Amino acid sequence: MLRNKNLSVVFFSFFISLSSILFFSCKKNGVAYWDVDLVAPIARGTLNIKNFFGDSLFQSDNSHILHLKFSRKVADLKVDTLVHLKDTTINYSFIAFFTATVNPNTMLFYKSEEIDFQIPNDARLKYGIVREGTLKVKYLNTTRQPLLFKYELTSARKNNVAFSVTEIIPPGTTPTYKQYKFDGYTLDFKGQNGNKYNTIVHSFTVYTAPNAQPDTIFFGQGITADISYEKIIPDYIEGYFGQQEIHLPYDSAAIGFSKTLETSNFQLNSASINFRIINDFGVDIQGNLDTVMSINTYSNSAVLLNSNALKNININRATKTGNWTNPINSTTTNISITTSNSNLKAFIENLPNYLGYSGKITVNPQGNISATNDFAYYNTGLRIFADIDVPLIFRANYFKLQDNLDINFQNVAQLNNVNEGKIFFNVSNNYPFKVKMQGYLLDENNTVLDSLLLSTNNTIEMAFTNSNNDVISPRNAQLVAYLNKSTIEHLKKSKKIKIVSYFYLPPSPPDIVIYDNYYLDLVITVDVNYRTVSNN
């Protein structure tokens, strides 16, 4: 944005001047007409290349050269990418194969068994903590009395107590639906005897309910229960996650180049991108970034980044700290892309506002070398950042920057009596470029109402430079816009002034260096003549 030293728009009231003028009035009980000149600033600010990207995107080096320097996250894989506990439904039933009279609180059936989650890629889970999990059960009791159904998930424990539910299911032909949460429970996946993986143990028991009446259960009657484990999200998971290939589908991330920047024949001196890969997973990974694309949606152009450094990237596993509040020692892998090992110049010279990417990762490329001790925590994962550094040393025919100034006329009615006037653009150019400037009046919808400067009077010469094109002192200039009736009407309706500046480089220049003390100071003032009326 255009950074204002004093962005408020000030129109000094002509009534202040009128009070002194009336002191000399020589006519009583009459009408006097006075022409009053008013000069007032309407905007002032400093135009810096930083302002069109945001200060946070720029850093100065030890030589005070500006660098466009920023980081963007381009990919983020979470634990559910590595390990997915699929929804599982198990059907249980107790059906009497006899006819017998039973009393209340009589145990009719008991069963304990294992459930294998059948996780693909040869994954072997042994332990987990459930962040979120839901157990849904559909009950149907076909006897004539209520039955008590007790379900216990032996492998799930919280505070050393197993997860269990007890329900009294009424008789009838209409199913009873229940659901239960088991958030925060630990899951032991090693089975009944501790020698398996991906396996939990549970049991269910059927009784006649305490409130039941003595009655006969006939052959074929009983209770069925469809038990579904759904949406299990681990807070922590441990085991062997298998050897698997995960594709990163094509996606894009917004990066820092602005739509307000336009160039011609833009040529960088140098640039670099460091792809920083942070691994929070306790697994080894091999990665490939198949596609990294510089996308400029304003010019509808794209450049593919070519570099062998993006192939077969070995990413080491994270380790545990032993501290539950900060449990992970993440690993960081840096892939340096420069103008010497890639076509990065063309990639950045495209001035991308998006970075497109796709690729794939191979988990545990060397197999189960952790002895089934892979691990992952919720809300951690594999993160890929693009750290971009572009020193502002370049060549170009020109570049264009634009931005809007808010204006706020405190007393619009004063413009109704303007006879004539001018708008002055007082400019101090401390750039080693010639500047052509234009101002546009905008309404509340950012629609252009009028332009202010003529092409014959819109140029500011470049600052005074030495033989290396380094600025030694600024160049001052004043551009004049003349107000006519149409411009005054548009001025009354305007809410903003859009400033568009073209910076033209010298013909066949050496590389231009942009230092952090380069600027273009702009003060916009209005000089108008009012016709005022006074009663004497």
CATH number of the domain that 115 lies in? 2.60.120
Mean pLDDT of 317-342: 94
Residue at which a domain ends, from 328, 363, 391: 391
pLDDT of residue 470: 86
pLDDT over 70 at 21, yes or no: no
When divided into structural domains, the chain yields a total of 3
Dump pLDDT digits (tens) for 340-365.
999 999 998 888 888 999 999 999 99
* More confident site: 240 or 63: 240
The answer on 406 and 530 residing in a single domain is yes
**In a domain? residue 416:** yes
* Residue 147 bridge partners (DSSP): 169, 208
Which burial class, exposed, middle or buried, applies to 270 when counting CB atoms under 10 A from its CB (0-12, 13-18, 19+)? Answer: middle
Greater confidence, 324 or 328?
A: 328
**Domain assignment present for 248:** no
Domain boundary among 240, 273, 305: 240
Instruction: Judge if 96 and 228 occupy the same domain.
Output: yes
Write down the pTM of the prediction: 0.75
Separation between Cα atoms, residue 439 and residue 404, nearest integer Å:
9
- Over residues 110-135, the mean pLDDT reads 91
Rounded to 5 degrees, what angle do the CA atoms 73, 306, 345 make? 80
pLDDT at 283 over 90: yes
Q: By residue range, what is the domain housing residue 406?
A: 3-59+397-535
**Mean predicted confidence (pLDDT) in 231-259:** 86
Q: What is each CA distance from 374 to 33, 40, 85, 246, in whole angstroms?
A: 90, 71, 16, 17
pLDDT > 60? residue 60 = yes
Q: Are strands 161-169 and 176-181 parallel, antiparallel or unpaired?
A: unpaired
267 within some domain: yes
> Which residue in 209, 190, 188, 225 sits closest to 111, CA to CA?
225
Cβ-contact 504, 435 below 8 angstroms: yes
Collect all residues with Cβ–Cβ distance below 8 Å to 201 and sequence separation of at least 6.
112, 113, 114, 115, 153, 154, 155, 191, 192
Pick 278 or 5 by higher pLDDT. Answer: 278
Q: How confident is the model at residue 48 (pLDDT cuts 50, 70, 90)?
A: low
Q: Which residue has the higher pLDDT, 14 or 292?
A: 292
Contacts 24+ apart (CB under 8 A), 33-36: 33/531, 33/532, 33/533, 33/534, 34/531, 34/532, 34/533, 34/534, 35/419, 35/529, 35/530, 35/531, 35/532, 36/529, 36/530, 36/532
Residue 444, pLDDT above cutoff 80: yes
174: Cβ contacts below 8 Å, ≥ 6 apart: none
Has residue 246 been placed in a domain?
no
Is 316 in the same domain as 444? no
Last residue of a domain, one of 391, 418, 446: 391
- In tens, the pLDDT along 370-407 reads 999 999 999 899 999 999 998 888 888 887 777 777 77
Is residue 32 pLDDT above 90, yes or no? no
- The pLDDT confidence band at residue 496, using thresholds 50, 70 and 90, is confident
Is the residue at 155 inside a domain? yes
What per-residue confidence (pLDDT) applies to 127? Answer: 95
Q: What is the mean pLDDT of residues 477-492?
A: 86
Rounded CA-CA distance 343/275 in Å is: 15
* Residue 331, pLDDT score: 97
The pLDDT of residue 175 is above 90: yes
In this prediction, residue 46 carries a pLDDT of 61
Q: Looking at residues 487-506, what average pLDDT do you find?
A: 84
Closest CA relative to residue 411, chosen from 70, 14, 55, 1: 14
Q: How many helices and strands (H and E) does the chain possess? A: 4, 40
Give the pLDDT of residue 498: 86
3-state secondary structure of 106: coil
Instruction: Provide the mean pLDDT of the chain.
Output: 83
The pLDDT of residue 164 is above 90: yes
Query: Given this model, what pLDDT does residue 379 score?
Result: 86
Same domain, 410 and 492: yes
- Biggest CA–CA distance in the chain, Å, is 126
Neighbour tally for 482: CB within 10 Å: 13
- Tokens 């290939």 locate to 245
Q: Is residue 143 part of a domain?
A: yes
Of residues 124 and 58, more confidently modeled: 124
Compute the CA torsion angle 14, 17, 21, 27 (nearest 10 deg): 30
